[in-house]
Structure 1
């Protein structure tokens, strides 16, 4: 009799830190053993769902997959000058081999590490990797699909939900690999031990197969498990389970990526957008947004005052971030890994004693325009180099710390040299090895009291900090819809057939949430002008969330100036820093640091990336490309 390993993987849920949503037997009604027959493993929903659960843990937690994880590889971030072993530094040097474990890939833990494990035991967030986890997940999904006929003790709803999850993960894992490596064999059956001959498909051919799986998954899955009889036993704890909205979101994303210039070029169809794929993407996103806008889903944009909780929760018992806006998050039970790892890396070693320092590049900070909606370089924006932080997009003040910002809240005298962010040229926080190389710090995911004096950050178990960046959130859907709709129709006023929003409307929805004025009319007259603002909007709204590298690649911009440079801002303070909160006995008023005046404000290039067309894709593993001739290496590698 065919035997299978028994997998028991109850999902963790938002709102419960490190607590399984049910007991170990909830999804497996047989006493624990090392093996089960196929007939037992797949006979009913509880057993089959126990098999499916492991697929959730094949997805790497890119935020905290390793002790310290580099995941922003575009023009958005630069790493401390001594951290040359991190993947971001390797990418800067053109070393795309660095994602692989045999090339020191441990410093890019979510892509590939040697000790792969899907987290069957305590350390769930440590071991899954994109390369190994995706191929493992594809095989497991195919194994489940091949055994669906054994699911005899189940309702139609239960059968649909099992099949929908399996189809979702098969498409999802293929897409995750494709976006980094291009077209691959699409494996839709359980492979035997015979000779491998499956060819690499062109990107769009592969994307069509992904779309078929994700469309079928969307049609089988409910919007919300809580509204189903199958989900009733775990009602209130089903947030992370794959649903119709997740499937529609990835269906649209897969199709938009297939329609993007790089993927169109890889399929021999030119270097522009593919209107047909964009139209199909817009329809998928339009279906999703119509459900959201009509109140039929559990998803909504969070208020801007709660923006931080998209990525970080504090003193809430390890509650998973994301609120109502996060669409796809992978299980993240080990919340304290972010507390000890990522959350202490966004200040500087002089503030948090961090092991690694990640800073926003000045060229990227320039994308944060003005509150009036105009980019900095527009002659009517009102940007003033003597007051370069005044009147900016509200997301600038949320995400970025600049010269004069208060970085320590408790008034500890030992913090005096760095309390008010001395980020001017020559300032105490401008050390290339211990501070900021660029004149800015990233505070999108952390708080101002995450430092060694206020002690609310790394190492403070009582703070219960949980940092997690979602794979997909609703704001991203609005922006992807806008991109798909305008490139499908050739106009900013373009829309899908199933959504009332135009491309322009969708961008303005996101600006409204942030309190930024709408896209100016000067950018709405033609597609090229609108796309320049849409790309800028995407850069700001999704900053540092692991999107930029793939965006620049799919737009065929990663090897083009100015996207190949990383810069710093250099300037001198004028007079006393009016943002300083001095001793009250001295009678000094507290003022907004954005009012501070500087002179000599200019930009300097601190790094240039010498990329060519080979950097459009990551290199595949040599061992894998040596297996058989049809599985060839990416161009240039």
Structure 2
């Protein structure tokens, strides 16, 4: 941490234009562009140029490498063609692997030895970007009094962005490492640092103060401001009031969750007061959204894919009206180099390493009637699930996200007659899609982030289709579900709600289910907090599947070490009867069973990632996480 926190950032360059995708290191500028501090911070254009670099500290975790890993819960497993991604270290219990000195490129977006804010997907990582961004935000806040040639609106927008980023970078680090020093001033470049680690709640309170101040200063939509009109139509990624409220709520909900509450108070329960504060922040946001005062709304289920990718739209940024927080991207074509190919078995695609959904996780996708499946291998009269027809009448998101056996995968021509059988997903035991090295180890394939035509025959990942994949950090559906959790635990009832927002916890969940065409939460889950919490967590698993949330959710719920969240399974079965090429849900299967392929042996130390030894050895007050 020492070299990152104490690095002197030269931030005194004017950028002629405000562009999130054109940030460069100031020290790379021509000497003639250097000007005094007084001029650099004097007006909005100059100060915003300084602030822009913070956006380039938001890591694009989706496309940070050729293929990339960001799902570290029990949700995903890779083919055996490679073992260098951090997901393998996580499965082995070796959490040190996030650090570049232990794993090289395999740790991906968490830590890299060549950090830079210059455009490029190979030089961005959370650890370095966060400390760099915190210092830069503090430098900007320390120089606000030099912004003399500016309106009140312009000053508020600059201060709001800086406060947001200071809180956001702290929050991101806290998620993985727990309470840290909260650095809210410019540390000197020389001299001894002895800032102690704070408890998680202490950090969260400081982050909340920054998020709250940012929300009060920032506009809902930059296009409706005088400064924003200078970049009209190009402001969708700029930090606004809705983003600040969303992370204010998330910061409070995380602080109120069992893991963080235990770290701070010794109690393994939800913290009611933090949950109420979270519900209030989310409620304030959702009231604005539902009142039509914002640019955000849930996309229709027909356009659900636009949350994650666009195709044939001139490389348009994914997210549509639902994505609340995203960062800039280096090149829209980055996703076609590897991400677009990392899901499809090599027999119908390119590249050896594949990321596939685990069977145990896919089982969270219940039935269209809204009921869960207690055991994927056994019939359930209540839900209507039949293991001889396991793909029938499932939650519509199952069909949107998951390729199962018999799905027509290749849509166009297959020139080689010998390859014709691969037109349909052969995911039964022994099928052509089931190669453990280059295909599916589990009996499923993920399609949530790619069109089904992303294969070597239909070629949807070629340049001409302009396929752009980008998974957002946060979208509106996530906010509804976080509000539901906060309202439930803060007000001790599925009917709990923030006093200033109209919807209850269960109503908020049902909004998300209704969008997908799933029946509401069944009344049998509404009789107690625990029953509804279980269904709410399942809903979160399904709606936010494979978007990078599950690992942190299991950790904050203190479930990471508990069975069945410690296993990864495959679904084994045989085809039975006549193969239906028109409707694969009508295909009968036999001998359906689950097989454990990974057992993760965790202890309590695995709830937090280990800090770097070089940092914890600086001084006694900056201690290592327990057990490491």
Q: Would you call these one fold, judging by a TM-score over 0.5?
A: yes
Quick check: 1:11–1:240 contact (8 Å CA) kept in 2?
A: no
Deviation at residue 148 of structure 1 after TM alignment: 0.2
Q: Which residue of 2 aligns with 1:178?
A: 174
Q: Which residue of 2 aligns with 1:467?
A: 469
Counterpart of 2:340 in 1: which secondary structure? helix
Q: Which residue of 1 aligns with 2:326?
A: 329
1:370 counterpart = 2:377: no
1:521 counterpart = 2:520: no
Aligned equivalents of 2:32, 2:547: Cα separation in 1: 41
- The 3 A distance-change label for structure 1 pair 177 and 10 is farther
1:607 counterpart = 2:607: no
Q: Which residue of 2 aligns with 1:597?
A: 588
1:168 counterpart = 2:164: yes
Deviation at residue 436 of structure 1 after TM alignment: 0.4
Counterpart of 2:477 in 1: which secondary structure? helix
1:359 counterpart = 2:356: yes
Q: Which residue of 2 aligns with 1:85?
A: 84
* 1:142-168 CA-partner distances (Å, limit 9, x unpaired): 000000000000000000000000000
* 1:40-66 CA-partner distances (Å, limit 9, x unpaired): 110110000000000000111010112
Quick check: 2:352–2:438 contact (8 Å CA) kept in 1?
A: no
Q: Which residue of 2 aligns with 1:51?
A: 50
Aligned equivalents of 2:38, 2:548: Cα separation in 1: 42
Which of residues 412, 422, 445 is equivalent to 2:426?
Answer: 422
Quick check: 2:250–2:482 contact (8 Å CA) kept in 1?
A: yes
1:380 counterpart = 2:385: no
Counterpart of 1:418 in 2: which secondary structure? helix
* 1:224-275 CA-partner distances (Å, limit 9, x unpaired): 0011111111111110000000000000000000000000001124001000
Deviation at residue 464 of structure 1 after TM alignment: 0.7
Quick check: 2:221–2:240 contact (8 Å CA) kept in 1?
A: yes
Deviation at residue 4 of structure 1 after TM alignment: 4.0
Aligned equivalents of 1:465, 1:524: Cα separation in 2: 42
- The 3 A distance-change label for structure 1 pair 519 and 90 is same
Structure 2 spans left out of the alignment, 5+ residues? 1-8, 375-379
Quick check: 1:492–1:526 contact (8 Å CA) kept in 2?
A: yes
Counterpart of 1:545 in 2: which secondary structure? coil
Quick check: 1:12–1:332 contact (8 Å CA) kept in 2?
A: no
1:438 counterpart = 2:429: no
Counterpart of 2:596 in 1: which secondary structure? strand
Quick check: 1:374–1:381 contact (8 Å CA) kept in 2?
A: yes
Aligned equivalents of 1:319, 1:12: Cα separation in 2: 16
Aligned equivalents of 2:201, 2:381: Cα separation in 1: 41
Q: Which residue of 2 aligns with 1:345?
A: 342
Aligned CA RMSD, in angstroms, stands at 1.7
Counterpart of 1:424 in 2: which secondary structure? coil
Q: Which residue of 1 aligns with 2:310?
A: 313
Q: Which residue of 2 aligns with 1:540?
A: 542
Quick check: 1:559–1:611 contact (8 Å CA) kept in 2?
A: yes
Q: Which residue of 2 aligns with 1:252?
A: 249
Q: TM-score, normalised by structure 2?
A: 0.95
Aligned equivalents of 1:8, 1:543: Cα separation in 2: 40
Q: Which residue of 1 aligns with 2:106?
A: 107
Quick check: 1:3–1:38 contact (8 Å CA) kept in 2?
A: no
Counterpart of 1:335 in 2: which secondary structure? coil
Q: Which residue of 2 aligns with 1:584?
A: none
Quick check: 1:360–1:438 contact (8 Å CA) kept in 2?
A: yes
Return 287-296 or 104-113, whichever deviates more: 104-113
* 1:533-564 CA-partner distances (Å, limit 9, x unpaired): 00000000000000000000000000000000
Aligned equivalents of 1:519, 1:160: Cα separation in 2: 43
* 1:358-377 CA-partner distances (Å, limit 9, x unpaired): 00000000000000000012
Q: Which residue of 2 aligns with 1:626?
A: 617
Q: TM-score, normalised by structure 1?
A: 0.93
Deviation at residue 34 of structure 1 after TM alignment: 5.0
Aligned equivalents of 1:316, 1:11: Cα separation in 2: 24
* 1:610-634 CA-partner distances (Å, limit 9, x unpaired): 0110100110011111111111100
Quick check: 1:68–1:107 contact (8 Å CA) kept in 2?
A: no
Query: What pairs up with 1:118-137 in 2 under 5 angstroms?
Result: 118-119=117-118, 123-137=119-133
1:455 counterpart = 2:459: yes
Deviation at residue 111 of structure 1 after TM alignment: 0.5
1:635 counterpart = 2:615: no
Quick check: 2:11–2:50 contact (8 Å CA) kept in 1?
A: no
Deviation at residue 100 of structure 1 after TM alignment: 0.6
1:94 counterpart = 2:57: no
1:484 counterpart = 2:475: no
> How many residues are aligned here?
609
- The 3 A distance-change label for structure 1 pair 567 and 489 is same
Q: Which residue of 2 aligns with 1:238?
A: 235
Aligned equivalents of 1:284, 1:124: Cα separation in 2: 35
Aligned equivalents of 2:69, 2:339: Cα separation in 1: 9
* 1:315-344 CA-partner distances (Å, limit 9, x unpaired): 111100000000001011411110112111
